[in-house]
Structure 1
């Protein structure tokens, strides 16, 4: 079953993506020992998320970009770069929100929850609209978690009107860009390869 879900890597790009997952697993221990259990838990969550592109069998370059993006984002939090370098928050929301929006979109299509934009009359526009909506929803969810963290865990977590609106805006832009480039990111229709085609009349 594992070999079915995670077939052996083919080519150097897929092996690189798998190497990033191994690195992320090592980082769980490093972060947990060096920065505490909360940091280790953050790396564990990111490591689990990094298996999604592999399960979805998207283009290997997208898999690599996703892995690098989420690892940089979580280590930026662990090392408090968001506090020491305030502008760093903008490119991270732009990048990671776009990557996550694309992954969630592809996942929902594979699960049959939403339609594959490739089957609709205006595929590029449909994909862009859907990924942007998903990206904004993910952004709102993230901001809620930030508020919970600030209120109940650590007051050092940055919250505020300008910060929240800015994060949502740049995250939405990243999701829009991801939607426009979905055909390149996946290198195929996002439907399962075994999905039956509609009968031709």
Structure 2
């Protein structure tokens, strides 16, 4: 946990990381806006989404991925708050494709960080193993999302659109996005690996000890 906290609180390095932090700041500002304009549930939705947006920074993921995660997360939650999914029936399909893939990638790397699943680089078929686990995570997240939509329709807001065809399409697109994220994991986690690798000590004293 300390390593996650240190990574989260470190100073941004470069314009890309600053951009990702600005997107997180926008997420924070959106919380009271959503609460005032769309009610407490809107504020809670933005708060939950903004909390999740810190994970790529804590995991030291590539800044480009961090930016994409923040933008897609905000688009997804605002689409829900403003009922865009209801007014534009097809809009949830690209959102499920993108968000499920990004969330599955972050979920996989969290499991690796806490040593719940093996690091793919320690396995004989890293790409295949990562693709399978990430796809399974993405489909699992998708199922929980559909369950949440069902719960919301029956107990919170009857206007939430839920249907068999809609659910199957969401799961299919989310699974494809998660598979793509798994196949791209070497690119997604490259920045994290480069920062976690120990640096060689160039000091003369260390070189002389090693040479001896």
What TM-score, normalized by structure 1, do the two folds share? 0.92
Which of 174, 178, 182 aligns to 2:181? It is 178
* Residue in 2 that maps onto 1:35: 38
Matched, 1:116 2:97: no
Instruction: Provide structure 2 residue ranges, at least 5 long, that are not aligned to the other structure.
Output: 199-212
Shift of residue 3, structure 1, vs aligned partner: 4.8
C-alpha distance in structure 1 between counterparts of 2:115 and 2:194, whole Å: 9
- For residues 93-128 of structure 1, the C-alpha deviation after alignment (integer angstroms, 9 at most, x for no partner) is 000000000000000000000011121111111111
Would the alpha carbon gap of residues 171 and 159 (structure 1) be closer, same or farther in structure 2, given more than 3 Å must change?
same
Q: Which residue of 2 aligns with 1:96?
A: 99
Aligned match of 1:74: 77
Q: Decide whether the 8 Å contact of 2:28 with 2:47 is kept in 1.
A: yes
Distance in 2 (CA, whole Å) between partners of 1:140 and 1:191 is 34
Q: Do the aligned partners of residues 38 and 184 (structure 1) sit closer, same or farther apart at CA in structure 2, a change above 3 Å counting?
A: same
Indicate yes or no: 2:52 matched with 1:49. Answer: yes
The answer to whether residue 147 in structure 2 is matched with residue 148 in structure 1 is no
Unaligned runs of 5+ in 1: 196-201
Q: Which has the larger radius of gyration?
A: 2
Q: Contact (CA 8 Å) 2:93, 2:170: kept in 1 or not?
A: yes
- Name which of structure 1's ranges 2-11 and 168-177 shifts more when overlaid on structure 2: 2-11
SS of alignment partner, residue 158 of structure 2: coil
The question of whether the paired residues in 2 share the 8 Å contact of 1:109 and 1:191 is answered with: no
CA distance, structure 1, for counterparts of residue 196 and residue 31 of structure 2: 34
The separation in 2 between residues aligned to 1:159 and 1:121, in whole angstroms, is 42
Please identify, of 95-104 and 28-37, the stretch whose mean Cα deviation from structure 2 is larger. Answer: 28-37
Superposition pairs of residues 152-171 of structure 1, within 5 angstroms: 152-171=155-174
TM-score by length of 2: 0.87
Shift of 1:12: 0.3
Summarize the Cα distance change of 1:111–1:157 in structure 2 as closer, same or farther, 3 Å threshold. Answer: same
RMSD: 1.8
